[in-house]
Amino acid sequence: MTAANLLAVPRIAICVCTHGRSRQLAGLLDVLSAIDLEEYPPERVELIVIDNRPGRETRELCERMAPSLPIVLHYAEEPQPGLTYARNRAVAVALARNADFVAFIDDDDRPRPDWLLRLLEQQSTSGADLVFGSWVLDADLPPWVRESGIFRSPDKPKRNKERRYGLPHFASGCNLLAGREILERVGAAGPVFDHHFRFSGGEDKDFFLRAHRLGATLACAERSIIQRSHDCERYSLRGLLRRGMKNGCSQINLAMVHGDRRRRLRLLGAACLKFLVSLVLLPFSVFSPNQFRHHLYRLAKSWGIIYTSLSGRGLNYYSR
């Protein structure tokens, strides 16, 4: 490939935000060492790691594993805690380094070798500003977790909720390709990822909705697949309570920003009903671990909606 042809190939920045999770990050970097780019020039792809709890451990891990990667690794820090701060820092660094597209994945996920190529393939075919990849659950999930429906993959969307706010059920920041132009357009009006969602999550859906209102086109790349790999702590009773409340806070936050009064009241009313039902059923399900965990999660999620609706506050899920 000539120098002129090489410059015509889009520059891709793979962005990973991490917060004191060097073990998970090490696993991701190990998987990325086998990334399949086929004929795509590796010099036009780089990995940007944003350390949201700056310290020697993550920086030294990146320095140690960088030589094993077929693409350049760039390490940067964001000392302000919160997922939105880390994501915005990633976008700023990527655009400053002349990226044409930014791909987001999480530090505890494991992409298939061709996941990036499939995103780029769908973008090239559709011309979409935002391309959403798919994901599958960890094959080693405890059976009750898979059966509970608390953790889902896009091939099993919740009934009648595939297009909440008009978004496809694929829409997630865990496997995303975003074009430079839409990032700059959204960023011109404020942070790309709104700090209102910095600890509760939902910042990705909020970004998608604001981008869509600005005319962004959306596409799904079903063949771009990552494996969600969660820590066992997320499956503990404490982990389910935290995740449930976080999801409830995130859901009502989105409704407050993007929904009307009727939607918010309907969501609050449903949460109050589910909270009471789960509270009543919880003691009767102690001898059925699956049912007990399901009611516990639904109790926590409903409480998250109620708590945030009444107080305007939420759970600092991503501040740890």
Report the pLDDT value the prediction gives residue 219, as an integer from 0 to 100.
Answer: 96
**Token pair of 313, please?**
């506050």
- Tell me how many helices (H) and strands (E) the chain has: 11, 8
Nearest Cα residue to 279 out of 265, 307, 298, 305: 298
Every domain of the chain and the residues it spans: 3-232, 236-311
- Dig out the tokens for 54 from the structure: 């700056």
Any idea which architecture 3-232 has in CATH? Alpha-Beta Complex (3.90)
Identify the pLDDT of residue 156: 58
CA distance 290 to 151: 13
CA distance 316 to 6: 44
Q: Which residues of the chain have pLDDT under 50?
A: 160-162
State the pLDDT at residue 8: 82
Average pLDDT for the chain: 90
Q: What integer pLDDT is reported at residue 286 of this predicted model?
A: 87
Strands (E), the chain: 12-18, 45-51, 72-77, 101-105, 109-111, 130-137, 175-179, 218-228
In a 3-state reduction of DSSP, which class is residue 14? strand
The pLDDT value recorded for residue 160 is 47
Rounded to 10°, the helix 261-281/237-258 angle is 160
**What does pTM read for this prediction?**
0.91
Q: Look up residue 291 and give its amino acid.
A: Q
